[in-house]
Structures are given as structure tokens and as C-alpha cells.
Amino acid sequence: MSMADVTIYGGGILGLATAWSCIKKGARVRVIEKLGVGYGSSGSPVGALAPHTPDNWNEKKQFQFESLALGKSYWAEIERVSGLPTGYVKCGRLQAVQDQRTLLLAKARVEGAKKRWGEEGNWNLLRHGEVNDWKPRSSLDFLIYDTFSAIINPRFACISLAKAISNLGGEIIIGEAEPVGKVIYATGAIGLDATPEKSGSKLGTGVKGQAILVRYNASGLPQLFVDGIYIIPHLNGTVAIGSTSEKIFLNTSSTDSQLEELYHRAIDNVPLLKHAKILSRWAGVRARTSSRSPIMGRNPLNPSSYIANGGYKIGFSMAPKIGEVMADFILFDKDEIPKSFKSL
């Protein structure tokens, strides 16, 4: 390919999802990634695709709902075109109920889910004893079970998505290259850590996360959430445990005692994992905008270009919809970007 209609800087999930939607809509696409596909926070082993709670509804929750609803068909097509797995499965989620306030909120949300989620999934309360051994401990003998949640293997998904883009004629360049055509920046925490001249404030900042991967086969079982910890059973017989949220850190890629503490809390809450073999530890920096919502549209640092950034903890759940909306905005000037996500 000697020319491209669209150049995307960044080979993480938001850059790749935007590239995929652009190429599907007929654009020639070039993705430029300095270090490797999914190298940054998109290479985390976790991969929780979980909806926001169905109360206090707003445009961010609606956007994520629509994106999650696309998940099954979206990732199935990626796998078909690439010939590679993404690790996607709609497996649901079990959450611990640790106090009366959480229990009351959970009961109230049953009807909210019926209204907001429709046929996509349910929000249920179960007795702890009704669930098999794969479950978190719960102080009040109740678990929240939602059938809307899914999981993905982030590393597999990024590689599969990049391969699908290549198979449709897109260019994935690792290293340096000249941009051609319209330019989108999807460069994660580095891209947010800049100061627009007019506003004098940063678009956002990086928040470090650490996670751990163990060998335990709970394939197809629900993801677990307890004590602020995500426990994700991947289809390949591994379980990811994460993650920390560190606003202050010195080293972006090293793991430390904070991860070990999180790991032991996970074991305390899910004893089945006690003897699982540790396969790897991971650390990276996630892009968190000042508003905590993704930032999309014209690039405030350079309005002749575009930006798609700030997935933070829900980048994979937002990616299908972000890619679709960004492609329409870039290629056809069709603006369906939520007001709270707008960059300018």
C-alpha cells in the first residue's frame, strides 16, 4: 500500500477498533505502532467486559451498553476474518455482596436491568449455596449474578484484530512511518499527558495497573468480582487477577508488593485459586481522562487531526462502538459522539 485514507497512531484496542471500522467502510488504513500491537495497557491479561449498573442511567452507560451488545457478533467476525481466537465469551459475572447497602442496591437493580438491558441480560440475586464452587466469598450469603457480562483475552484480541485488518488490506507498521491521509491519535496515556495551549490543563493522565495470570481451568464460567478485584477465567485454561489502580508510581512496567497483596486477597476470596501456578505478572499504564469518559473527535492538541483515547478500565467494552462512531465521524462527517465524550 503506497497511500492510505486514514493513518492511526497507536496499536492498542481503540486504535485497532477504529482502523477495523474504517477499513470495513471502504477506507485504506495504515496503523503505526512504535512498540508492538497491544504493547501498552491493551496487553493486560484481564479482559473484563462488564456493564455499568442499570441505575442512574446516562449517555456513557448507554454507549457502553450498545457497545457490549455488539460484542458477540463483532468478535466472531474478527475471528472469522483473522483465523485467530479473541477469547471472547459471554459468560456472565458473579459479584460478592458484603454489606446491607450493597444488598439493597442489588435488589433495586433487578428491575432496572429489565428496563435498561432488555433481552441482552438479567441482573439476579442468588443465594451463595445455589452456586457451584467457582464463586467469591460473600459476607451476607448473597451473590449478584448478571448474564450480560462477558470476557475477552486482551492479548489475543489485539493480535486477532490486527491480523483481520491486514487480511482486508490494511497496513500494520511497527516502528516509525510517515502518516498519510486523515490522522487519528489513539496513543493511550502518553497521548493524554499533554497540555493544550488554550486550556492549560491536561486531557488526562496515566493510572498504573498490575495484574497476575495463573494456570487454572475455569473455562466458560462467570467472571468474578469481589473486594475490588476482577478474576477472569479465560478459555485457554488460565485465570487473570487484577488490577491495582495507582495514581502515583515511579516505574511503569515493574510489579511490586501491591500486586502480591492483591493476589493474596484474591486467594482469600476465591480459595480454589490457592494452588494455581503463577504464569506471569504484568504492569502497565492505563489512559484516564479528566472526565473519566473516553475522549473522541477532533484532537484538541491539533484540530486538523483526530483523537480516540481514554478507554481506562472499560476500553475493550467500549471499543466496538468507539470504532464505529469514530469511523463515521472521520470518513463521512457523521457526528454521533456523545456530548460528554467530545474533545472540543
CATH value at residue 312: 3.50.50.60
| DSSP secondary structure of 90-152 | ---EEEE--SHHHHHHHHHHHHHHHHHHGGG--EEEEEGGGS-SSS---TTSEEEEESS-EE-
- Please report whether residue 208 resides in a domain: no
pLDDT at 196: 63
Does 63 fall in a domain? yes
Instruction: Give the pLDDT of residue 333.
Output: 95
* pLDDT on residue 85: 98
- 23 domain-assigned: yes
Task: For residue 209, tell me if it sits in a domain.
Answer: no
pTM of the model: 0.95
Residue 212 pairs in a beta bridge with 241, 281
* Number of structural domains in the chain: 1
In what side-by-side order are the strands of the sheet with 171-174? 171-174, 29-33, 6-9, 182-185, 302-309, 295-299
Please give the Cα distance from 269 to 260 (Å, whole number). 14
What would the pLDDT profile of 261-287 be if each residue is shown by its tens digit?
Answer: 999 999 999 999 999 999 999 999 999
pLDDT at 2: 46
* Three-class DSSP category at 223: strand
Q: Is residue 177 part of a domain?
A: yes
Domain assignment of residue 1, yes or no: no
Q: Which residue segment(s) compose the domain that 81 sits in?
A: 6-89+149-200+291-341
pLDDT averaged over 10-residue windows placed end to end, the chain, 344 residues: 80 98 97 93 96 95 97 98 98 95 95 95 95 94 97 98 98 95 95 66 90 98 97 98 94 95 97 97 95 93 93 96 98 96 84
259: in domain: no
Any domain includes 333: yes
Closest CA to 32 of 17, 44, 16: 16
Q: Give pLDDT, residue 202.
A: 79
